[in-house]
Amino acid sequence: GSTIPLYLGADLLSKTDVRTENHPRHHAKFAKKGLATKITFSSFRFHGLKVPSANNSLWFYSIQGLFRVAFELYSKQDQLAVLENFQETVLLLLENIDRYINGRLEEKDATEIVLALLKAKDWGPVYSSSLLTCIGRWLGQQFHAANSSISQKVEGFKLQHIERISDLPPAEELATELFPEAMRTLLLHWMGLSEDFSLEKRRSEYPILLLILEFANHNLITGVAHVLYSSLICR
């Protein structure tokens, strides 16, 4: 299996304004979120660091914990330094974040960490961004893995509407009922239809969005999708 790196808690908090006597309280706070852990050692010396027998334990942080400490307690300059020093680790975290979402790390925590990383700086042009490529690959894999469950939902919908297949609900209603919110959100923002746009404008674009979802998921529902698909494959 892959190794999850650990970072010494004393080093991480030494770069903050937190007083040394308050370190244990902060370690405990991050530990409750699954971002830090206390490891007990026998009394020995390693790399110049002696663990005293009276207090033979040290706090260590996961990579998520490192970034959480950085974005909660570091200055903006130190945050950017962390990002620059851990670019490869950032990419690894984003590409394999599902390995880190376990019983101790909630999805909400992972969301906050990833969003903080993505907003921390300008990651470069879209045509040459390895970060965007990595995220795109990961999202595509997740969406592809959901194809079976989407197909079952679509087939169930078709059975329920078999006698009025030419009189289907509006495109927005179909997209909402049959496809995951993550897919709809990605396409809406990709098409420039954020929440700032009027409801009428968003609804007018939903037939296009629905067509994209139908083709991308290999699940044709509307008559327009069937006609376009037949036209394309017959060429």
Residue 92 confidence class, pLDDT cut points 50, 70, 90:
low
Q: Is 134 exposed, middle or buried (0-12, 13-18, 19+ CB in 10 A)?
A: middle
DSSP-derived letter for residue 127 is T
As a whole number of angstroms, the distance between CA 204 and CA 231 comes to 24
Q: Give the DSSP H/E element, type plus range, for residue 45.
A: strand 45-46
Residue 42: what pLDDT? 58
Radius of gyration of the chain (CA): 24
Mean pLDDT, rounded, for 24-44: 80
Residue 94: what pLDDT? 59
As a whole number of angstroms, the distance between CA 210 and CA 222 comes to 9
Mean pLDDT, rounded, for 142-167: 88
The rounded mean pLDDT for the chain is 80
DSSP 3-state percent helix, strand, coil across the chain (nearest 5): 65, 5, 30
**Of 167 and 206, which is predicted with more confidence?**
206
**Of 177 and 79, which is predicted with more confidence?**
177
As a whole number of angstroms, the distance between CA 25 and CA 9 comes to 12
Residue 1: what pLDDT? 42
What long-range pairs does 88-96 form, CB within 8 A, spacing at least 24? 89/5, 89/63, 90/117, 90/131, 91/130, 91/131, 91/134, 93/63, 93/64, 93/67, 93/117, 94/131, 94/134, 94/135, 94/138, 95/134, 95/137, 95/138, 96/2
Residue 53: what pLDDT? 45
DSSP-derived letter for residue 103 is S
Say whether pLDDT at 88 is over 50.
yes
Q: What is the DSSP string of 141-210?
A: HHHHHTHHHHHHHHHHHHHHTGGGTTSPPPHHHHHHHHS-HHHHHHHHHHTT--TTS-HHHHHHHHHHHH
DSSP-derived letter for residue 4 is P
Residue 2: what pLDDT? 44
| pLDDT tens column, 115-149 | 767 776 677 788 888 888 888 999 999 999 999 99
Residue 89 confidence class, pLDDT cut points 50, 70, 90:
low
Residue 20: what pLDDT? 84
Residue 41: what pLDDT? 63
Q: For the chain, how long is the longest CA-to-CA vector?
A: 79
**Of 97 and 123, which is predicted with more confidence?**
123
Say whether pLDDT at 179 is over 60.
yes
Sign of CA dihedral 140, 143, 145, 148: negative
Residue extents of the structural domains in the chain: 7-138, 146-233
Which of these ranges, 74-78, 195-199, 225-229, has the smallest mean pLDDT? Answer: 195-199
